[in-house]
Each structure stands twice: as C-alpha cells, then as structure tokens.
Structure 1
Amino acid sequence: MSNHQPLPAEMKSYTVWDKPTRLFHWINVMLVFALLIIGGVMMFRSELGISELSGKIGLKTLHVLIGYGFAINLLIRLVWGFVGNKYARFNHMFPNAHSKNELQAYQAEVAAGKNPQYLGHNPKGKFAVLAIMLLLVTIMSTGLIRAGTDIYYPPFGNSVQSYLAAPNVEPSSLKPYDATGIDTDKANSMKSMKGLAGKVHVYAVYLLMLLIVLHVFAVVYTEVKRQPGIISAMFSGKKLIQGQPKDE
C-alpha cells in the first residue's frame, strides 16, 4: 500500500483583466469616493458653516465636474463591455439563462467542501456586478438630470434654460437658484420630475454604498478563504488558478 499523498494541482497563471478594465475599476473607485465626500459636504453644509448661496453653488459645481469624469469613465466601460476581452465583456460578467443552474452548482460544491476556481466572477459575483453596474448607470443618469436642472450644466442645461425662460427673457441669462426671468408655471411643472431624479439619485447612492461594503467584504473573504490572488489580479491583470477553472 502506497503512503504517497496526492500532489496538489499545479498553479497556473492566466491573463484575465485587460488594462482598460483595470483602469476603469480604479478610476471609478477614486471618483466615487470623491463624489461621496463632496456629496456628504453638500448634505451637511449648514452644519459645516457653509450657508451662503455661492458656497452651495460652488459645491454643486465641483460635484458635477467630478461627476463628468465619473460619467465619461463609465461610458467608456459600457462600450468596452462589448468590445473588450472575454472577461471584460458583459456576456461573461453578467448573469444569463444558465446562471441559476451555475449558482446552484457553485453553492453545492462549496457546501461539499470543494473550492471551485473562476477566472472571471463566480456565479454569485455576477449578480453583484450587474447590480453595481445598474446603480452606477442610474446615478450617472439622475446626476446629469440634476446638473441640468440645478445649475444648467450640460447635457440638459441649455434645454432647461430655454424651457424655463419667461417670454422675452434670454435663456442664457438665467442663473442657478435665482427665480429672476423664470416662468413660474413652467418651474412648478418641473418640480416633480426634478424631485424624483434627486430622490432616485440619493437612494441609489445609499444602496451603492451598501453594495461597496458587501463587495469589499466578499473580495477579502474570497481572497483569504477560497481563491488567493483576486485582489492583486485587479492590479496585474493575472490570476493564479489551482486546477481547472470553471469558466475557462
């Protein structure tokens, strides 16, 4: 009878995350945190002693300018989701018709003490990625609406000014948070839409914050317990996999 123990499967390096995907991820992290900080200051500006209108407009403008960077980065990623490498594409990152069965199989393997390895996202991660991406698009869309209705910034600002301007008033003369030259009836008709966009924007951000916390916890847990190297892979683009990956 042999006393030899079976050798562990060989570790193999795979190139997974291409450079544009990695750049999007880290740029997005920085911009989201910058927007959260400025947004928090905006919400608590009175408590922070920022009471003048110029301060309010200045914070809003800074938030919008950073938001443009966030929007451009996200739009590039949306395009890259169709033309990037296999693991950057949405048809590999997002759940599909087979995801329910894949998730059940994944959970069964984990429950049995196995350690399934994935080059891309595991079946649970795909649902999280979809939720985060939908929230990012929602935040971008509602943020651009509020940028146009609050301080008349592109892409909707000119149209909003033209709509709100009273007869014989030059639309470009309208100033943020100033009722001078504005058609009151039209301004009132916009309030519900503007308010809805603001509420969706804020609550989408709250939900994103929750998902960020859960995402960080899940990544650290997976790194420590199941698949070492997934954090470093978002810097290097390479994953070390032991055995046969499930999604090669």
Structure 2
Amino acid sequence: MKTRNFKRVLVWELPVRIFHWLNVLALFVLTVTGFLIADPPALLSNAEATNLHTFGIVRSIHFISAYVFFFVMILRIYWAFVGNKFANWRAFWPFTKRHWANLKHVLKVDIMLLNDEEENIRNISIGHNTIATLSYIAMFFLALVMVFTGFGLYAGMSSWWLPRLFIWVPDMLGGDILTRQIHHISMWAFIFFAMVHVYLVFYHDWLEGRGEVSSMFGGYKFVCEDRMKKPEKVKSDKNKAAVPAD
C-alpha cells in the first residue's frame, strides 16, 4: 500500500465558523417558534389573560432569531469578498472544468457509494465540493425568500424602518395567506437540507477521515500533499522528464 503524507490546512476561518453556528442556532429557534406560531398549543392557566404573554414571548424570540439570521447572511456576503479562497465567492462559481469533474466524483461517492482512493486524491475537494456548492447557492436564494416573506409578514406590525422595507411583499404575492404558505414551505425545505447536510458531513468524515466534522469547530482539515500540488507544477515536471538528456 502506498504511503501518503497529509498536511493540516486551515480551511474554515473563525468568522466562517461563527457564521455557521449562529445560522444553525437561528434556524433551529426559527423552526421551533415557527411551528408554535403556525399551530399555537392550548395553554391552560388560571391567571388573567392580560398577564399571560407566552405567545408574545414566542413571537419575540422568532423575530429576534430572524434578525440574527438576516445579519449573519449580510456578514457572510461581506466575508465572501474578504475571506480566504475557501470562503471567497469564486469558490461558489460552479461553471469550471474542475467543478464538473468533481461533480461526477461526488455523485459516484454519495449516490453510487463507489469509493476509489486514487480518484479521491485527484478529485476530492479541500473546501466545498460541487454538490455542496450548488446546494448552498440554492439555499442562499431560499434564504432570500424566507427573509422577504418573513419581514413582509412582520412589516405591518413593526415600527422600525428595516422590516417596513418589505411591506410590499404580501401585496405582490397576493396577500398574507399565500405569503405565509410560501414562508412555511421554505422552512420545510431548510429542514430537508439540514437533514441531508448533516448526513453527508458525517458520511464524508467517516469515508475520507480528513476531519470534516471537526473542521467546523477548529477550522482545520487534513489534506493529502499530492492533492495540494498545483497542476501547472505537475505538468511542468512531466514535460521536464520527457525532455531527453543532452
């Protein structure tokens, strides 16, 4: 068996990891409180109705989490221009030969469950793979739908200028009921994405053993040194070896 050397590489910078876990927390709270708002449970109490603020607290937590989700998205967009190459917006541009080659590899590994060590070395991604990139692009636009519909529903009861920027959304979509339905369906899409995302992260962590899970805590992955060689350098070495000696 061929011995390979692995190098510890900082892939996910601290701001990216903070944005990730803030999003996880915000989406979890938004989902739980969203279910409660959509289908409020009956609360039995002998206290006066004017002294019960349970549902108001639930709605306040939902709105605060929505603000966290919104501002984290804005900061992540900013970091796409100032972060390292793994967080940069260019890493999410899928229309390159490298991305399409990686797409075939990921489909073989994730769907067909076919694993080849040599092919992994050639096509494995250090940052996001192509499937993850495409799904994150889709989730970004879905997040915009959540933001627009959510703030659109909230705008009528808010006095702050930020939510009121979206007051036109329900009218454009045909009213509050349809806007709420779109918001609710988008939530289920996020739940489905989260389930698949968690499964694939643990699957690749088990299959590749490069620290896929721990990288979102510490930022580091273990990358084969052969994979880190620049293609131009490898090509020039081959050409050099092909030249006959004088």
User: Partners of 1:224 and 1:134 in 2: how far apart?
Assistant: 30
Q: Answer whether contact 1:57 1:151 (CA < 8 A) is retained.
A: no
Q: What do residues 2-21 of structure 1 show as CA deviations (whole Å, max 9, x unaligned)?
A: xxx53x21011111111111
Question: Across the two proteins, how many residue pairs are aligned to each other?
Answer: 216
Identity %: 22
Matched, 1:32 2:39: no
From 132, 141, 151, the counterpart of 1:134: 141
Greater mean deviation of Cα atoms: 235-244 or 40-49: 40-49
Q: Does 1:223 align with 2:197?
A: no
Work out whether 1:41 is the aligned partner of 2:36: yes
- Structure 2 gap ranges (5+): 231-246
Unaligned stretches of 5+ residues in structure 1: 164-187
Secondary structure at 1:120 match in 2: coil
Contact kept? 1:119, 1:247, Cα under 8 Å:
no
- Output the amino acid matched with 1:103: L
Q: SS of the residue aligned with 1:155?
A: helix
Say if 1:159 and 1:206 are closer, same or farther in 2 by CA, change over 3 A. Answer: closer
Q: What's the CA shift for 1:193?
A: 3.6
Between 93-102 and 61-70, the greater mean CA deviation after superposition:
93-102
Query: Which residue is 1:100 aligned to?
Result: 100
Superposed displacement of residue 195, structure 1: 3.0
What is the match of residue 10 of structure 2?
A: 15
**What is the SS of the residue equivalent to 1:95?**
coil
The aligned residue for residue 149 of structure 1 is: 156
**CA displacement at 1:150 relative to structure 2:** 4.4
- 1:156–1:128 Cα change, 3 Å: closer
Q: Deviations over 1:130-184 (max 9, x none)?
A: 2222222221222111110344554243895xx9xxxxxxxxxxxxxxxxxxxxx
Instruction: State the superposition RMSD in angstroms.
Output: 3.1
Whether the aligned pair in 1 keeps the contact of 2:152 and 2:166 (CA below 8 Å) is no
Return the alpha-carbon distance in structure 2 between the equivalents of residues 48 and 89 of structure 1: 48
CA positional deviation for 1:123: 2.0
**1:83 Cα offset (Å):** 2.1
TM-score normalised to the size of structure 2? 0.74
Deviation string for 1:185-232 (max 9, x for gaps)? xxx968824333322211111001000000000000000112430111
**TM-score (norm. length: structure 1):** 0.74
| Cα distance in 2, alignment partners of residues 113 and 101 from structure 1 | 15
Going from structure 1 to structure 2, the CA distance change for 1:245 and 1:196 (only over 3 Å counts) comes to farther
